[in-house]
Amino acid sequence: MLIVVVWPTLRPTGYSTKNWQEAYLAFVKLIHKCEVMQGTTRPASFITEDCEASETDDILRDALKDGHTILHLNYKGLQQLPPLLLDKSFDKVKKLFLKRNRLTTLPASIGFLQSLTVLYLPSNNISSLPNEICELKQLECLDVSQNCLLSLPSNVGQLPNLEKLHLSSNALTELPEEIGQLQSLKVLIVTNNQLENLPETICRCMKLNTLHVDKNRLHRIPHELNKLRDLKELSLMGNLLTHIPMLLVANSSLTCVNITNNPYLVTLLGNSHQFGAIHSVYSNISGCGFRDPLDLGVKPRQIFKINNCRAVLPPQMKLIWPATDGIQQPYPLLELSLRACFKFKKLLNIQQLPDPILRVLDCPVAVCAHADCGVPIYTSSFAIAEQIKGPVNKVTLFHRKQCVPLLILRLLDQSFQL
């Protein structure tokens, strides 16, 4: 049975505002009863969704009486959570919506709502979250965007089922290292905060597919992000980035990377011929390269110039030589050691190495661009530079000088075949 009703927006003559609201609520309750008779699973609490005329206590009493599992308490002017809601009688509630109230904090007793899967709190005045929020073990979605958060609880990683975390438009200056413990996390939105860095532990969120960190103060992003093989969407718009991790280009799962309006990002670095043109991955690269990275305190040795192409090297890169340079320079011992460990990692018991070295071995800065080579690059390399269409240039890295002419010959052979 399908019921289609058009409810008039104008109040009929002779009806007071109170009578009109009562008639509206009675009408909606009648429609709900029809839906219940039809076996619908739509929660009965929808009858008061976002209706300022309804009293909070009335909603909670009705919800308790009828066993509602979804509560809509948006636009109620609440300065604190109603004591009745925090009674253990509501431990079956699964979704709680509290948008646009006046909440400044959450009580420790929020942990009583053990069945919560969705906690929706945008557009309040919340400055901190209690540690007890991490007792909500069934929580799948937490939205505290447009609040006044300065930090997150350090035990935020103790939410084993959390899939979506929305933190936009707060005052966060950092994310806790424990965020890497969120093994179920798929969506992380931290747009419009004051972050200067992302914790490297974020690379442990192996199910992460959407990461938005727009409008922060990021100078760099961890090159370990290339470990996130499910990552499809990465948005870094409006930051202070000087470079993009080169191996992100090799992440075949990425379908969109937005880096527009990063004025210190002068050049993209990558070994792109294996994975398609570097600029095909990046959805927007306008507004980049208008400021001198020296203004940010970038060391001059990190600014690499070749063939009128300027690039800002990742912090791990200490030496780089143009492929046209005939001067033979020895590789640093660290580079040779790391490459040897990587090459023989199946024979060596590298798990006994210190964790910092293991992380470096697992995530080099780049890989030799020669398709038949693929040797990892950690601290130094040879390079060629070329112009590409758009406002940025490209620097391609090779692990040894001999790989460069081999690559050029192979590309020439391909062009002749075409």
pLDDT 10s per residue in the chain (418 long)?
444 444 454 445 555 555 655 665 565 555 544 444 332 223 444 444 444 445 888 889 888 888 889 999 999 999 999 988 988 888 899 999 999 999 999 999 999 999 999 999 999 999 999 999 999 999 999 999 999 999 999 899 999 999 999 999 999 999 999 999 999 999 999 999 999 999 989 999 999 999 999 999 999 998 889 889 899 999 999 999 998 887 787 777 888 889 999 999 887 766 544 444 445 567 778 888 889 999 998 888 888 888 778 888 888 888 888 877 776 778 888 898 888 888 888 787 877 777 778 878 888 888 888 777 878 899 988 888 766 655 666 778 888 888 886 555 444 444 434 3
Q: Are 66 and 86 in contact (CB under 8 A)?
A: no
Q: What is the largest CA-CA distance in the chain?
A: 95
Q: Which residues of 304-332 are buried (b: 16+ CB within 10 A; e: fewer)?
A: bebeebbbbbbebbeebbbbeeeeeeeee
Angle at 276 between CA 271 and CA 277, to 5 degrees: 75
Label residue 297 left, alpha or beta by phi (over 0 means left) and psi (-120 to 50 means alpha).
left
The pLDDT of residue 237: 95
The pLDDT of residue 161: 97
The pLDDT of residue 239: 97
Contacts (Cβ under 8 Å, ≥6 apart) of 315: 220, 302
Smallest Cα–Cα separation from 362: which of 373, 378, 374, 349? 378
Cα–Cα distance, 402 to 408 (Å, whole number): 11
Q: Are 183 and 163 in contact (CB under 8 A)?
A: no
Q: Partners of 305 in the beta sheet?
A: 310
Smallest Cα–Cα separation from 80: which of 55, 107, 62? 107
What's this model's pTM, rounded to 2 decimal places? 0.81
Residue 202: both structure tokens together: 């974020």
Q: Partners of 282 in the beta sheet?
A: 257
Other residues' Cβ atoms within 10 Å of the Cβ of residue 231 = 23
The pLDDT of residue 18: 55
Contacts (Cβ under 8 Å, ≥6 apart) of 102: 77, 78, 79, 124, 125
* Helices (H), ranges, 219-308: none
Cα–Cα distance, 268 to 304 (Å, whole number): 12
Smallest Cα–Cα separation from 248: which of 221, 267, 266? 221
| Rounded (to 5) percent helix, strand, coil in the chain | 30, 15, 55
The pLDDT of residue 389: 58
Q: Are 391 and 289 in contact (CB under 8 A)?
A: yes
The pLDDT of residue 39: 29
Give how far the C-alpha of residue 148 lies from the chain's centroid of Cα atoms, to the nearest Å. 19
